[in-house]
Amino acid sequence: MKQFFDRLWQHARERANETAFQYGETHLSWAELAARVAGAAAALEQEPETIGLALPNGPDYVVADLAATLAGKHLVPIPHFFGAEQIAHIIQDSGIKAMIGGTGHDLPCLETLLSQTGPARSVTPGHRRIIYTSGSSGHPKGVIIGEQQISASISALSNAVETSREDVYLSVLPAAQLLEQICGMFLPVMAGARTVFAPEAMAALFGHAPGVMAQVFATHRPTMSLLAPKLLTAWLTDMQQGGPAAPDSLRFVAMGGAPASPAMLRQAIAAGIPVFEGYGLSEACSVVALNRVGDNEPGTVGRVLDGLGVAIEDGEIVVSGPTVMDGYLHHDAAPCRWKTGDLGHFENGRLVVEGRKDNLIVTAAGRNINPEWVERLLAADPMIACSALVLDAGNLTLVVAPVAPISMDRIESHLSDLPVYARPERLVIVDPRSSGFIRPAGTPNRGVALQLAQTVPAQSIPNEKETAA
């Protein structure tokens, strides 16, 4: 991380009064950022090795994260969207002894240290961040990401995205997610770009927040951002309903966190949103492949980043290279070639992701169905916050969480091109606020979806096609 912090100190010397991070009317200059990071890092040296971070998006989050990194601490970001039981598990599992920000747990709070300032200093080695993924069991697993993975990811993404000091990055996803830490904090600082926080846009992940997405982009006129598919859907809907057009300042809007419909991506591009889908996972420091300017093919996740290797073994995506995690906390070190559990293939040198291997549905007729294939057909509908295809007692059941009442005809229209064997037989309509159904990235929790399919009354979905397959 030496190169990263050398760049931060350089910005502080050469562009002292220019804004590095902005939240509403609060502007944090490069000089203020550097001084606060250095001062907080010095204060943190006397604190426990493992520290939790539970602040909302904003400049204070950046100061806390970078200070813990500079001080060589083990940092555990606490997602605000996790439940109390999950947070308690994280604290116990990771061995957190102090917290920056509060979670209601009886731990020393270090938030006051963020106001201290100091001169530029060298990096204390040993930093690692423990990223907890939600998991299907409800008990998050700790992914260990060290300095090597962060540095390699920054380098590869900087080359792919070509971030410069002229860029303005709009941050709308939770900072506790590793992908947002990389794209909204490390990349902009490395390039000297300005980051603007707009956390109000996060509401669109869990149901459409009318007008918000289009307005924040029109107001801040960023050049770059990172979105989950549901945020893009909300943005397109805003524009269709008379909201502001996409600003002509945009040059790169990355898409990640969940599969996106190729039709929706093409619609966004036609509407002036330069969107580029990518693929990654926390176990490989978030980004493995990415479409890019001059080489963008919706329906694929683009070419593999420089320095990484991807192979397809028995249909499964296998990643190798310096961004692969050190391992899961309390488990053996990760192998140098990480089996992702995702199915995929290459088309003309670009990676295509088919779905999760452990999500694969095998019907009684022996047919294999990737549920993501079916769910992607509904993902572009702004009326649908989330959907999941599950197999319940031998029946293909579609669980749909609409943001407003939705007709069977509308749902059937999305499924009309599916072959008979992949068409859902039953429909379960649920509230988008159903506990735990929609993950923060907008993807479904399949365990919760199956429970809902078993407990909520279902409707039969008409199938007018021939039953022979």
Output the pLDDT for position 134: 65
Say what percent of the chain tops pLDDT 70: 96
d(CA 72, CA 52): 14
- How confident is residue 468, by pLDDT bands cut at 50, 70 and 90? very low
Question: Would you say 239 and 268 are in contact if contact means Cβ atoms under 8 Å apart?
Answer: no
Q: Could you tell me which residue, 384 or 95, shows the higher pLDDT? A: 95
Residue pLDDT, tens place only, 238-279: 999 999 999 999 999 999 877 788 888 999 999 999 999 999
pLDDT tens-digit readout, 15-32:
999 999 999 999 999 999
Closest CA to 47 of 33, 28, 22, 64: 64
Q: Specify the DSSP element, H or E, that contains 263.
A: helix 262-270
H or E stretch including 19? Answer: strand 19-23
Mean pLDDT, the chain, rounded, equals: 91
The owner of tokens 């190169």 is 3
Say how many Å lie between the first and final Cα of the chain, rounded: 56
In this predicted model, what pLDDT tens digit does every residue of 161-197 receive, in sequence order? Answer: 999 999 999 999 989 999 999 999 999 999 999 999 9
pLDDT band for position 136 (cuts 50, 70, 90):
very low
pLDDT mean over 385-392: 91
Chain centroid offset of residue 409 CA: 32
User: In a 3-state reduction of DSSP, which class is residue 107?
Assistant: coil
Residue appearing with tokens 């479904």? 444
Q: How many CB atoms lie within 10 A of CB 419?
A: 10
Domains of the chain (ranges; CATH) run 2-353 (3.40.50.12780), 360-460 (3.30.300.30)
3-state secondary structure of 458: coil
Q: Region 364-389: what's the mean pLDDT?
A: 85
The pLDDT value given to residue 289: 98
- Considering only residues 394 and 44, tell me which one the structure prediction assigns the higher pLDDT: 44
pLDDT of 139 strictly over 80: no
Has residue 439 got a pLDDT over 80?
no
- Whether the pLDDT of residue 434 is over 90: the answer is no
Distance between CA atoms of residues 34 and 19, nearest Å: 12
pLDDT of residue 466: 43
Residue 208 confidence class, pLDDT cut points 50, 70, 90: low
Average pLDDT over residues 198-209: 72
Computed on alpha carbons and rounded to an integer, the radius of gyration of the chain in Å comes to 22
Residue 467 has pLDDT above 50, yes or no: no
Can you tell me the mean pLDDT for 143-158? 96
Q: Residue 135: pLDDT above 60?
A: no
Residues in the chain: 469
Residue 195 pLDDT: 97
Tokens linked to 227: 């979105």
Q: Are 255 and 278 in contact (CB under 8 A)?
A: yes
Higher pLDDT, 290 or 264: 290
Is residue 185 a contact partner of residue 175, using CB atoms and an 8 Å limit?
yes
